[in-house]
């Protein structure tokens, strides 16, 4: 019986050690989440207003203005920007993003994918590893963007997509990311990035009359890339906050599961201990009875 006691005791120590790790990871993720949440909350209204403004300008631009990033053409070649995390242990966060990316490919771009005309631009190690392992057409350039997250590095990735689109190498660009709602909730989104979509006119609304200074075409060519950089940076910040929220929630659940397992193991340990004591007492009583006999 001592062997069984030792085995249960070792399992209890192992679970307690794991629980300490999950508690520590939860606290670290909670601290990182606060900073990431503050960043996206401050960024979101600015990015949304810029996106609205860009859509309005493109929608009201005259036909003679050459807007390379808003030019719609038959979609032959596609670029999918997939934003995942660098690390795991965050529940189904990465798997849900990868699943959505594949769904976007097979439902929206099945014909292009069959021809080998779908490229993946992964931002984050987990997405890069998955799509590389599964032999997708992966662009090996910006997957480590979270190792030094900054607006400048995100702008480089956005510029790559914009340059490819402007040159006609790519006909459509989608972004797959997780929109941060709160620590326990993320919304997984696949949305168009290029070409720039025109804002639908409001019912009963009037056409906006913009005054451009300097000239309209010069201003738009300068303004559009900056706004698109901001849109991708906003998606990155959303994903960054979502990752830490998902990891904090996952580690909290893991800690609770460890507590439940410890309760079961302690009951098993006490039962085994009581059985051992009972056996020893029985042996002692039996021995005493034999001596008296």
Place of tokens 């606290």: 27
State the DSSP string of 185-253. Answer: EEEEEEEEEESPPPPPPPTTPPPP-PPPSS-HHHHHHHHHHHHHHHHHHHHHHHHHHHHHHHHHHHHHH
Contact 190, 101 (CB under 8 A): yes
- In the predicted model, is pLDDT for residue 202 greater than 70? no
Q: Quick check: bond before 35 cis, omega within 30?
A: no
Torsion of CA 237, 243, 249, 255, to 10 degrees: -140
Burial class (CB in 10 A: 0-12, 13-18, 19+), 9: middle
**Interatomic CA distance for residues 137 and 79, integer angstroms:** 10
**Interatomic CA distance for residues 59 and 28, integer angstroms:** 45
Q: Give mean pLDDT, residues 101-130.
A: 96
Which residues are designated catalytic?
Answer: 90
- In the predicted model, is pLDDT for residue 78 greater than 80? yes
pLDDT tens digits for range 134-160 = 999 999 999 999 998 999 999 999 999
**Interatomic CA distance for residues 253 and 189, integer angstroms:** 25
pLDDT tens digits for range 213-228 = 666 677 777 888 999 9
Work out the number of other CB atoms within 10 angstroms of the CB of residue 25: 19
Look up the pTM and report it. Answer: 0.85
21-201+210-251: CATH number: 3.40.1380.10
pLDDT-derived band at 114 (thresholds 50, 70, 90) equals: very high
pLDDT-derived band at 284 (thresholds 50, 70, 90) equals: confident
pLDDT, greater one: 207 or 278? 278
**Interatomic CA distance for residues 124 and 94, integer angstroms:** 10
List the chain domain ranges.
21-201+210-251
- In the predicted model, is pLDDT for residue 37 greater than 50? yes
**Interatomic CA distance for residues 80 and 64, integer angstroms:** 30
**Interatomic CA distance for residues 278 and 42, integer angstroms:** 66
Strands (E), the chain: 78-83, 118-123, 137-138, 172-182, 185-194
Q: Give mean pLDDT, residues 84-90.
A: 93
């Amino acid at each position: 019986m001592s062997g069984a006691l030792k085995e249960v005791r070792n399992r209890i120590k192992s679970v307690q050690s794991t629980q300490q790790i999950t508690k520590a990871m939860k606290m670290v993720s909670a601290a990182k989440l606060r900073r990431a949440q503050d960043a996206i909350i401050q960024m979101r209204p600015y990015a949304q207003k810029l996106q609205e403004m860009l859509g309005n300008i493109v929608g009201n631009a005259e036909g003679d203005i050459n807007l390379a990033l808003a030019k719609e053409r038959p979609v032959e070649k596609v670029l999918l920007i997939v934003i995942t995390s660098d690390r795991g242990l965050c529940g189904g966060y990465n798997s849900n993003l990868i699943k959505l990316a594949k769904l976007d490919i097979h439902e929206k771009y099945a014909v292009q994918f069959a021809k080998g005309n779908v490229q993946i631009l992964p931002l984050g190690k987990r997405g890069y590893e998955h799509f590389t392992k599964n032999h997708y057409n992966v662009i090996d350039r910006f997957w480590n963007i979270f190792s030094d997250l900054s607006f400048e590095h995100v702008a480089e990735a956005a510029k790559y997509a914009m340059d490819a689109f402007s040159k006609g190498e790519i006909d459509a660009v989608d972004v797959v990311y997780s929109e941060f709602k709160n620590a326990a909730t993320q919304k997984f989104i696949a949305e168009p990035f290029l070409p720039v979509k025109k804002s639908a006119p409001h019912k009963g609304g009037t056409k906006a009359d913009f005054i451009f200074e300097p000239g309209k075409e010069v201003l738009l060519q300068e303004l559009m890339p900056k706004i698109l950089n901001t849109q991708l940076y906003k998606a990155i910040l959303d994903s960054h906050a979502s990752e830490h929220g998902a990891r904090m929630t996952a580690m909290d659940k893991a800690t609770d599961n460890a507590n439940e397992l410890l309760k079961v193991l302690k009951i098993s340990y006490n039962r085994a201990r009581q059985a051992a004591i009972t056996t020893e007492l029985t042996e002692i009583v039996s021995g005493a009875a034999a001596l008296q006999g």
